[in-house]
Structure 1
Amino acid sequence: MFDHVKFGVSDYEASKAFYLKALAPLGVTAGSEGDPAYGIELVCDSGVSLCLFKTTEKPAHLHVAFAAQSREQVDAFYRAALEAGAKDNGPPGLRPKYHANYYAAFVIAPDGHNIEAVCHKAEG
């Protein structure tokens, strides 16, 4: 839905490592990168990107939901994110309060941002 989202992080190397590992199951890879103040662009096949840069400013927490093509990708995102140091904020599962097939997982990233992977497709 978006072209790119760019936000600041306090520990650039930790955040870069976290997002690359946590989002790898969703097909996200490292794109262009400059010095930490410029940051890194994390990209996927659709051309959408997430950009991180080092800052000492304290931004409000952000919620970013990444589209998954399957429930298995949501599960893999959750496992990879926890292995990368995230805190659990809601394990993989259906969230029928949003809609009947809303299958998502939520984690808290190194700077406190709420990161989600969601699949809107019915099982199977």
Structure 2
Amino acid sequence: MFDHLGFRVRDLAAARKFYDAVAASLGLSTIDNTETSFLLSRSAEALVPFVWIGTGKPDFWRDGHRTAQSPLHLAFTANSKHAVDAFHKAALENGGADNGAPGPRGPAEMQYYGAYVIDPDGNNIEAGFRGSEWPPRRMEAG
């Protein structure tokens, strides 16, 4: 649905450590971009969509832009419940804080299993897995 998004961080090394671990747990990649940023995507070969993460100011951002004071919510798709569990563990071991242990989320019909962590900049980062019946089948008239 999106091509790319980006956000600034205060400490690139702390962010890179956190997102390297999170990406690996979900089968994603972090890719060197510039001295002040990196990309998070499926792989170097399947770059788009991607998330730009950095301390620099891209040319298209306005002067005076600062690292956001409001937290960002970013949810990654996991390919299994095990990947959600691995995401949560990796995040906590690499500078993240727990914001919701792995488990079922939402109404049962959503078949959603997710976990939430807070990254080193205070953003709420999520990984979730939807069961095979998502989206639910529509009821047939009759």
In the superposition, the TM-score normalised over structure 2's length comes to 0.77
Partner of 2:34: 34
Q: CA separation in 1, counterparts of 2:53 and 2:109? A: 31
Q: CA separation in 2, counterparts of 1:29 and 1:82? A: 18
Q: CA separation in 2, counterparts of 1:41 and 1:99? A: 34
In the alignment, is the contact (CA less than 8 A) between 2:23 and 2:30 conserved in 1? no
- The answer to whether 1:54 aligns with 2:58 is no
- The answer to whether 1:72 aligns with 2:82 is yes
- The answer to whether 1:91 aligns with 2:72 is no
Unaligned 5+ segments in structure 2 are 57-64, 134-142
Letter in 1 for 2:40: L
Q: Greater shift after overlay, 39-48 or 71-80?
A: 39-48
Matched residue SS, 1:90:
strand
Q: CA separation in 2, counterparts of 1:22 and 1:49? A: 14
Letter in 2 for 1:41: L
> Larger relative CO (CA 8 A, sep 6+): 1 or 2?
1
Q: Percent identity?
A: 40
Q: Give every structure 1 segment of 4 or more consecutive aligned residues whose post-TM-superposition deviation is greater than 3 Å.
A: 97-100
Q: CA separation in 2, counterparts of 1:44 and 1:6? A: 16
Unaligned 5+ segments in structure 1 are none
User: Could you say which structure has the larger radius of gyration?
Assistant: 2
In the alignment, is the contact (CA less than 8 A) between 2:117 and 2:124 conserved in 1? yes
Partner of 1:17: 17
Q: CA separation in 2, counterparts of 1:98 and 1:49? A: 31
Q: CA separation in 2, counterparts of 1:41 and 1:48? A: 10
RMSD of aligned residue pairs (Cα, Å) = 2.0
Letter in 1 for 2:117: V
- The answer to whether 1:106 aligns with 2:104 is no
